[in-house]
Amino acid sequence: MTNSRNKALLLALSAAAAATAVTAATLPAQAAAAPRAEVPALTWQPCAKPGGPAGQECADLPVPLDYADPRGPQIKVAVSRIRSDRPEARRGTLVVIPGGPGGSGVQRLTQKGTALRQQLGGAYDLVAFDPRGVGGSTTASCGLAPEDRYLTALRSWPAPDGDITENLARSRRTAEACARNGGPVLRSFTTANQVRDMDRLRAALGERKLSAWGVSYGTYVGAVYAQTYPGRTDRWVLDSSGDPDPKRVARGWLANMAQGSEDRFPDFAAWAAHPDRDKDGLRLAQRPEDVEPLLLSLFASLDRTPRPSTTPGVPLTGNGLRQALQNTLYSDSAFPAFARLAAALRDPAHTPALPPELARPLRDEDAAQLVAVLCNDVAWPGGSQADRQRAVDEDRARHPLTAGMPVNVLPCSFWKDAPQGKPTKITNHGPSDILMIQSRRDPSTPHSKSLKMREALGDRAVLVTVEQGGHGVYLGNGNACGDRTVTRFLTTGERPARDTSCAN
């Protein structure tokens, strides 16, 4: 897995993770009244990568550190584009909005650009950018110790017995380190600023309107943009949306992962118990209902005795295997690798190879960006250790696969800087130009919670439910009906007349 996918899995926010995920503040009054900065010209340079689309270009977009002082200090946002190869068919610009927080738009455009070109037939220049703190954009650091930057630490898994004492200590020291070392740049990492930066990119491109495809956390960025600048949206696709509740946002997305995992796990269980797995040695049980008890037993065994791995100094723990399962549920294509790991663990002499996302800590800059967006966007509640422990205990009992992680304490509860504004409330105000697409069994942004986004958007949107599992539908999980519906909308403007579904 690439580092960007690791970060996206934290919330997937996309997400979560995972996850992903993840919140925006409304424009402060002083920002609305402030003088506007001049829109800079973009100087494009070739940046095509091996295996990526030909003709990809990159540039740096200067943006205000603080939009309340638009002519003050500037930072840079890395942007990329793939120009339409059929100018006569071109109708505008499509922005690819990555998941996360922490996903790289530039990298996602590299990964999906060729497929998008094939699907869209030159209708758009394809554009993406790295949000503040990501990839080629201006970054910041919290100065976190490596042990606090592993995925299983950032995801705040409780101790094997459910105790959260260490989670509390880690969350406090992370918040303190970010306050001490992050400075104004770290404080600027918000969804609201990502939306403002996206509109500044629109202006720099000379476009009156944008079209967009946002995935996971990117759906929230897209929804906030459409709420803030409704007259500047053309055709808008929200792929794998979470609940936009402005009182909870990222906190709600994390909590909802427990239900998402429960919704999705039967797909893996059916796959792992199917007789077809016998030929590859990947059949974990004779019946689907026996797969979960087997994995719970493996978790407990690794909780008691972590297994040395092929990565020196990094054993495979019960929480490591739990996190590996959460990552696996995002896509059917990940099932074989996890089943191979689980099957091998039944041999006490086996030394497991860790999935790449578990084998090393995230870069400090990447961990800082993830934490900052979660914590800068909205105030998180405090509470006594006893109250927090009770919430984790209850969630562990209801959802054993996620073991209380989705409701556990994060650095946001100890964050030193208050949000600069209230999270954006998503409403039905604006043109009816949004197509939502969602898996029925999404492990990160469960379908039942995506209906909250659908309800908030009202007549602005139509929802297409794909009757399968996974996270990220368009050009991601192989559903021809879903792909066809999104492509038709982006190329012709045609949407289903009402909410509908696509068979698996």
Euclidean distance between CA atoms 456 and 49, whole angstroms: 40
Report pLDDT digits (tens) over 403-429: 999 999 999 999 999 998 899 999 999
Euclidean distance between CA atoms 218 and 11, whole angstroms: 11
Q: Which residues, at least 6 apart from 219, have a Cβ–Cβ distance to it below 8 Å? A: 97, 238, 239, 240, 241, 242, 436, 445, 453
Query: What band does 85 get if pLDDT is binned at 50, 70 and 90?
Result: very high
Determine the distance from the C-alpha atom of residue 300 to the mean position of all C-alpha atoms in its chain, rounded to a whole number: 29
Report pLDDT digits (tens) over 329-379: 999 999 999 999 999 999 999 999 999 999 999 999 999 999 999 999 999
Task: List the Cα angle 363/364/366 in 5-degree steps.
Answer: 65
Residue 4 has pLDDT above 80, yes or no: no
3 state SS of 468? strand
Euclidean distance between CA atoms 449 and 471, whole angstroms: 14
Q: Which residues is 211 bridged to in the sheet?
A: 94
Task: List the Cα angle 212/217/219 in 5-degree steps.
Answer: 35
Q: What's the pLDDT score for residue 439? A: 98
| pTM, two decimal places | 0.93
DSSP 136-168: TS--------GGGSSHHHHTTPPPTTS--HHHH
**Do residues 457 and 199 touch, judged by C-beta distance below 8 A?**
no
Euclidean distance between CA atoms 93 and 203, whole angstroms: 12
Query: What band does 399 get if pLDDT is binned at 50, 70 and 90?
Result: very high
pLDDT, average across residues 176-190: 98
Q: Which residue has the higher pLDDT, 232 or 20?
A: 232
Average pLDDT in the chain: 93
Q: What's the pLDDT score for residue 36? A: 67
Q: Which residue has the higher pLDDT, 33 or 361?
A: 361
Residue 90 has pLDDT above 70, yes or no: yes
What sign has the CA pseudo-torsion 498, 462, 115, 100? negative
Q: What's the pLDDT score for residue 35? A: 56
318-328 vs 250-272: helix axis angle to the nearest 10?
A: 90
How many CB atoms neighbour CB 480 within 10 A? 9
First to last CA, the chain: 26
- Give every strand in the sheet of 461-469, ordered side by side: 45-46, 57-64, 74-82, 124-129, 92-97, 210-215, 233-239, 434-441, 461-469, 500-502
Question: Considering only 15-29, 47-61, 246-260, which range has the smallest mean pLDDT?
Answer: 15-29
pLDDT, average across residues 63-67: 97
Residue 16 has pLDDT above 60, yes or no: no
Query: What band does 14 get if pLDDT is binned at 50, 70 and 90?
Result: very low
Report pLDDT digits (tens) over 224-272: 999 999 999 999 999 999 999 999 999 999 999 999 999 999 999 999 9
Q: What's the pLDDT score for residue 421? A: 87
Euclidean distance between CA atoms 438 and 383, whole angstroms: 34
The pair of structure tokens assigned to 421 is 């504004």
Query: What band does 11 get if pLDDT is binned at 50, 70 and 90?
Result: very low
Residue 26 has pLDDT above 50, yes or no: no
**Do residues 482 and 474 touch, judged by C-beta distance below 8 A?**
yes
Determine the distance from the C-alpha atom of residue 107 to the mean position of all C-alpha atoms in its chain, rounded to a whole number: 14
Query: What band does 37 get if pLDDT is binned at 50, 70 and 90?
Result: low
Q: What's the pLDDT score for residue 326? A: 98
**Do residues 273 and 290 touch, judged by C-beta distance below 8 A?**
yes
Residue 496 has pLDDT above 70, yes or no: yes
Residue 17 has pLDDT above 60, yes or no: no
Residue 494 has pLDDT above 60, yes or no: yes
Euclidean distance between CA atoms 176 and 212, whole angstroms: 37
Residue 63 has pLDDT above 70, yes or no: yes
The pair of structure tokens assigned to 220 is 């929230």
